[in-house]
Amino acid sequence: MATSSLYAAIDLGSNSFHMLVVQQVEGACRTLAKVKRKVRLAAGLQPDGSLDQAAMERGWDCLQLFAEQLQDVPADQVRIVGTATLRLATNIDTFLTRAETILGHSIHIISGEEEAATIYQGVAWTSSGTGRRLVIDIGGASTELVIGEGASAELLHSLNMGCVTWLKRYFPDGELSESSFASAISAARRELSPVAAGYLKRGWQHAFGASGTVQAIQEIMMAQGENEHITLAKLLHLREQAIACGHVDRLQLTGLTPERTPVFASGLAILIALFETLGIDNMVLAGGALREGLVYGMLGTRQDCDAQDRTIDSLIARYQLDREQGERVRNTALLALKQLQPGMDNDDACMLARAAMLYELGLCIEYKRAPEHAAYIIRHIDLPGFTAPQQRLLAALLLNQRDEFRLEALQAQCALDASRAVLLARLLRLAIILCLRRTKGTVPEFRLTQQGERLTLTLPAGWCNDHHLRATELQTEAKRQSELGWPLDVVET
């Protein structure tokens, strides 16, 4: 392995220390190591602003773990930053002197604005969607807010509130009550008040959460059978579940990990205040944040296309897929969807297009079980730009591209409701059959209509007699879909 392709980013956060090591492969990042330790540095801040010895010792012990891995990474391809707690600590020099000796690298204490801008870069490079984005990162001692479009941050702030500091102030004895939540939420609203108007004035199309709090909430929701979209109603329901537990020591929610339990209530209170103050309709988990912003900044990754497109391009190059054939299937599938839904949902169209571009991914292993291989690769590979539910939907579509339907995969994903996922699978299968010739100009002009669950595929007169293989495949597919309760008729004009 060439060391010149290795990059490392370390984030000395107020709640956790993180190390990310990646290798650049075909224009994308392959994660080689992720190390995370709950250092809870902010818990060691004393009234006089100094860090206590125990907190510094926890930090140094963690850095001993990171140091060995850094020895294989070129010095100019390493970025190490400290955030809110290290910005606040009055005895920072004591901590830094020993920390830099342990790591063998300089540590840069970045401002809140620089932290917010780097977080936005991490989100922009790893999360999909066009239009203006609102990005929120609730850290241990600070919360970063950013509005931006494309790769450019337009408005950003770093606020002095975080899940560790709010835990100390508003849940000091671990009691989870109506009053403790009310106090924490009110205090967060006061912190937001001076800056909220600017964000409301600019507005946004998509909201992303880039913090451990948002990740924990999404994991809980999905474990409880919800979809990935975080809403105020869901947050308030989680607050009621937490209050019913009564105390942090008894806090047991389906999907909540033990390591996140101590700071869950304080992070939840801050997020509720953000939703209420900014009028956020829904939010999804971002694909990256500060560490990814540091890494992609070193890589100089192209920003002239969507994050999902960059990921698809990388997979096509890495697995030597036939791009021209993928585009042929994609265009055919999207034409079919547009005929059924002239004002088609952009999420449906995007996921159908991505599945079409990657449908031959499993051939890199072998043909017979290619759909299973493709689904396995997608389920287990890093996919910047795709949320976890989108990744599962993409895998389910690839698994169902031919042969017998695997309905359990389409029903288990939560990016789309099952009926929409099934329709996308039906269209993908038809597009693959219509494109079997793999040659420009061989896809027939067709018309697809829908009445309830029934699809009718209309082909040119005499086409079936002239194209026996595809006609037979279409009839077999029509029988298979019809037997499952989704009638498919193949007719000629």
pLDDT of residue 303: 54
Asked if pLDDT for residue 26 goes beyond 80, the answer is: no
pLDDT (0 to 100) of residue 310: 83
- The pLDDT of residue 85 is above 80: yes
Question: 């005929």: which residue's tokens?
Answer: 339
CATH 1.10.3210.10 range(s) for the chain read: 307-443
Least confident of 153-167, 220-234, 293-307, 354-368: 293-307
In percent, how much of the chain has pLDDT > 90? Answer: 77
Percentage of residues in the chain having pLDDT higher than 70: 97
- Statement: residue 56 has pLDDT above 70: yes
Q: Is the pLDDT of residue 345 over 80?
A: no
Cα–Cα dist 195/113, whole Å: 14
**Which numeric CATH code is attached to 307-443?**
1.10.3210.10
Stretch 166-179: mean pLDDT: 95
Distance (Å) of CA 267 to CA 93, 163, 166:
29, 5, 8
Mean pLDDT of 116-136: 88
Please list the residues that pair with 144 across neighbouring strands. Answer: 137, 158
Q: Where in the chain is the domain with CATH 3.30.420.40?
A: 3-110
280 pLDDT band, cuts 50/70/90, is very high
pLDDT of residue 305: 62
Two tokens, residue 238: 């989680």
Residue 20 clears pLDDT 60, i.e. is over it: yes
Query: Tokens 């969507």 map to which residue?
Result: 306
- Average the pLDDT over 32-39 and give the result: 90
* Residue recorded with tokens 């942090």: 248
Query: CATH fold of 113-290, please?
Result: Nucleotidyltransferase; domain 5 (3.30.420)
- In angstroms, the CA 472 to CA 469 distance is 5
**Closest to 429 measured CA to CA, from 373, 484, 359, 347:** 359
Of residues 225 and 4, the one with the higher pLDDT is: 225
The CATH superfamily label for domain 3-110 reads ATPase, nucleotide binding domain (3.30.420.40)
Could you give the residue range(s) of every CATH 3.30.420.150 domain in the chain? 113-290
